[in-house]
Structure 1
Amino acid sequence: MKKRIVCFGDSNTWGYDANTLERFPEGVRWTSLLAELLGDEFQVVEEGLSGRTSVVDDPLFEGLNAFTYIHPCLMSHAPLELVIIMLGTNDTKERFNLTAYNIAQGIARLSLKAKNTPAGIKGSFPKVLVIAPPPIGKEYYETSIGNSMGINCDRKSEEMPMYLKELLKIQGTEFLDTKGFIVMNTIDYMHLNEEGHRLLSKLVFNKIKNIL
């Protein structure tokens, strides 16, 4: 049986292309590139949903709260070797009124839930890797998404990984910070471009080699 990895995230895991407003194809998305790097021994399951938050319900759109969905999601893909969580970008939206620390708390809480879901081999608990996405570029507010996102999203996404690292250290969860290695595109400043997907796949691959 192949070793199964679930990549659980938002539009940057789904593969949203800000240039076409559609989905990047296989061979461009970081999840599919990761599968290529890992080889035939592994199966990478893409669980990306645009707009997904870590622990809050969105008053405008249905079904985006990861906390209420992650348990059945992981159980449906069991048995799992590893769960990779990359969230936080959407949590910065002004309508949620969360601080950078609150966002980190939510992701840490979600991570703990994943770690305690019996979706591993023979009902064991899977390993979990949490990725802090690249910070939102400050120019985002001048683009078409500015009104929807609201203010200070860039600042919160810049500060969040520092808090998240400390909270995950307490619970003993693997952490990967993409800040300084990958930047968002120059269209809406909150999605990965093709180069970003390629770089992320390599970062995650190198991290996985030390986990599994």
Structure 2
Amino acid sequence: MKKRIVCFGDSNTWGYDAVTGGRFPDEVRWTGVLQEILGAGYDVIEEGLCGRTTVFEDPLNEGLSGLEYLLPCLMSHSPAAYLVIMLGTNDCKERFSATPKNIADGMKRLIVKARHTEAWSDEPRILVVAPGPIEKECEQSPVAGEMGICSEKSERLAEEYRVCAEEHGCEFLDAGPVVRMNRIDYMHLDAESHKRLASEIAAVIRRRI
């Protein structure tokens, strides 16, 4: 059986293209590139949802708490060999009033829930990815009304996630040095960044599997 890699994330896993307002093609999205890099022995499963948070229920949009969907997601794709979680960008929205530590605690809850499912083909293997920081220009961009003041706390997520991953025996990757945000909304990856991110994630997975 192919090794199943579940990629659990938000619009940057779904593949939102800020230039067109649509979705990058399969071969551009980091999940699609990851599938190509890993090859036929792996099945990369893309579970991205625009607006998804770690644990916060959005008062304006339904069904966006990652905590509520993680269990059925993993069980529906079982047996899973590896879980990649890249969330936190939407948690930085001003309306959630969450600190970077709050957001990392949300990530912790996802890790704990994932570890205690019966979805694994072997032992739980989890990669926590700190998303590339939202740039300050986002707060003056077309999405400013949706995001509010968000860039500073986004920049502080990586260190909080690093500590969280170490405490819970997970792999950790800081996407910040690897990716670049587009020049329209300053919070979604540009096309080239999808390729670079996929390469970094593939390297981590190959070390573990």
Alignment of 1:1-212 (within 5 A): 1-121=1-121, 124-151=122-149, 153-212=150-209
Structure 1 residue runs of 4 or more that deviate by more than 2 Å after TM superposition: none
Q: What secondary structure sits across from 1:176 in the alignment?
A: strand
* Structure 1 unmatched ranges of 5 or more: none
**Amino acid of the structure 2 residue aligned with 1:135:** P
Contact 1:135 1:157 in 2 (8 A): yes
Q: What secondary structure sits across from 1:69 in the alignment?
A: helix
CA displacement at 1:125 relative to structure 2: 4.6
Q: How many residues align?
A: 209
The two structures have a TM-score, normalised by structure 1, of: 0.96
Distance (whole Å) between structure 1 residues aligned to residue 115 and residue 183 of structure 2? 35
Distance (whole Å) between structure 2 residues aligned to residue 77 and residue 70 of structure 1? 11
RMSD between aligned residues? 0.9
Distance (whole Å) between structure 1 residues aligned to residue 138 and residue 185 of structure 2? 5
The two structures have a TM-score, normalised by structure 2, of: 0.98
Q: What secondary structure sits across from 1:185 in the alignment?
A: coil
Distance (whole Å) between structure 2 residues aligned to residue 169 and residue 3 of structure 1? 24
Contact 1:116 1:125 in 2 (8 A): no
Contact 1:135 1:183 in 2 (8 A): no
Q: What secondary structure sits across from 1:164 in the alignment?
A: helix
CA displacement at 1:142 relative to structure 2: 0.9
Distance (whole Å) between structure 2 residues aligned to residue 78 and residue 209 of structure 1? 20
Q: Deviations over 1:4-48 (max 9, x none)?
A: 110000000000000101010111000000000000000000000
**Amino acid of the structure 2 residue aligned with 1:193:** D
* Structure 2 unmatched ranges of 5 or more: none
CA displacement at 1:126 relative to structure 2: 2.9
Distance (whole Å) between structure 2 residues aligned to residue 109 and residue 161 of structure 1? 17
C-alpha change, 1:19 and 1:75, in structure 2 (3 Å) is same
CA displacement at 1:70 relative to structure 2: 0.2
Q: Deviations over 1:96-137 (max 9, x none)?
A: 01001111111122122112211012xx55311110010001
CA displacement at 1:199 relative to structure 2: 0.7
